[in-house]
Every structure is written in C-alpha cells, then in structure tokens.
C-alpha cells in the first residue's frame, strides 16, 4: 500500500472513531432537538435530503462531470480520442467511488443493525440488531451521508480549489438526515467520512495507473492539470 494512502486511511479512521465516540453520548439529545425545529426548517431539509441518494449520485454525476471537465480542461491541443478517454476515466472514477461506497455502507449497516431514531421510544438510541434485514435497523452509518461524502469527496479530489464548497455541500445534506429524523449525528459523521475515504482511496488507485491523477512529491494524488507535465 502506498505510504500516503496508509497515512490518510489512518487519519480518516482516527477522525471517524473520535467523532463517533464523541457524538454517541449526545445522539439522543441532538436528534430530538433537531426534529423539534420549526416545521419550515424541517420541510426545507426534507427537500435537501432527497439529493443524497446513491441512485441520484450515480445517474446525475456522469453528464455533469463529463461536461464540466471537458469545458474546463479539455480544449485546444488534445485530440478527440484523448478527450473521450479522459471523459470515460472521469466517469469511471465517480462510478467506482460511489459504487464501492454503496457496497461498504450496506455491509456495515447489515452487520451493525442500529435502530433508527423512529424507534427511539421503543429501543432508545443504542439498540443494535445485527443482520435484521430491516431498514428500521440500518441507521449506522448513514447511507445518504456516505453517498454525498463519496460524491462531493470525488469532486474535491478532481477540483481541489473548490474543495471547501464541495465539503460544505456534503455537510449540508448530512445534517439534513438528522433534522428529518432519519439518522443520529454519529451515523452521519461515519457516513460522510466513509464516503470521503473511498473517494481518496479510488484516486490513489487511479494515480497508480496514471489515470486523471498523478502523485505529487509527497505521494498525494492530484489531478494532472495541477502538476507540471
């Protein structure tokens, strides 16, 4: 494993563990307070949260990414075949990132089996029923948060200058999952960081193949447009 990938993985794992452990004691309080916000805020967040599904991320990302990248990066000297190859690799990067995140998050949900906030009155915030095969017992980690963590995480790897904007978008949708009562805060933190980790790990794999990314002097994958040719 690339040393930078190993280091990044350890940092993200540590951040996930710290955030989850720090938030778990406050999960019931924050969840109840969030759901008690004025109805207009809850309604707005119900609309925001719809953008966090894996299917929306997969089908919606392809055309947006290809067009944005071609218009921004692919002009002038590169051949049509080169543009098509880059567009294909860019689409593959997003598809693999989101697909891998989906597989991981569903596996963890199944193994953990945490009851959702809707079952708080019956089971409390810390009830675990592994392998329940029931959506009501699939709160940890948040799938929506993982999807947007992967989606916006991939964007932040492709366009580092806009990274704060993309991370803010992921956080906004993640918070909406708490406000609509679908997840606890620790579920959202774990989902966001899982998606981000997958985006980074996939970028490392692509950089090894010299696809879209190249390693800089620190061994970190940067889009080729940011590195000297």
Q: Which residues of 130-142 are buried (b: 16+ CB within 10 A; e: fewer)?
A: eebeeeebbbbbb
* Model confidence, pTM: 0.88
Question: Tens of pLDDT along 97-125?
Answer: 999 999 999 999 999 999 999 999 999 99
**What is the mean pLDDT of the segment spanning 32-51?**
91
Joined together, the tokens standing for residue 185 give 């805060």
Selected residue with higher pLDDT from 170 and 229: 170
Question: Tens of pLDDT along 174-199?
Answer: 999 999 999 999 999 999 999 999 99
Question: Tens of pLDDT along 51-60?
Answer: 767 666 666 6
CATH of domain 3-226: 1.20.144
């Amino acid at each position: 494993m690339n040393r930078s990938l190993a280091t990044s993985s350890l940092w993200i794992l540590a951040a996930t563990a710290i955030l989850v452990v720090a938030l778990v004691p406050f999960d019931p309080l924050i969840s109840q307070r969030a759901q008690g916000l004025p109805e207009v805020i809850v309604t707005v967040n119900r609309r925001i949260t719809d953008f966090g599904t894996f299917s929306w991320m997969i089908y919606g990302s392809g055309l947006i990414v290809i067009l944005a990248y071609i218009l921004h990066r692919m002009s002038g000297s590169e051949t049509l075949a080169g543009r098509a190859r880059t567009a294909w690799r860019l689409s593959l990067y997003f598809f693999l990132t989101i697909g891998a995140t989906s597989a991981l998050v569903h596996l963890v949900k199944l193994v953990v089996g945490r009851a959702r906030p809707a079952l708080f009155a019956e089971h409390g915030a810390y009830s675990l029923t592994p392998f329940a095969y029931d959506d009501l017992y699939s709160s940890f980690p948040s799938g929506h948060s993982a999807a947007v963590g992967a989606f916006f995480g991939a964007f932040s790897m492709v366009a580092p200058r806009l990274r704060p904007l993309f991370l803010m978008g992921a956080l906004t949708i993640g918070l909406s999952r708490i406000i609509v009562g679908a997840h606890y805060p620790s579920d959202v933190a774990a989902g966001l960081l899982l998606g981000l980790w997958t985006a980074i790990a996939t970028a490392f794999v692509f950089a090894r193949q010299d696809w879209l990314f190249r390693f800089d002097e620190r061994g970190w994958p940067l889009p080729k447009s940011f590195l000297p040719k």
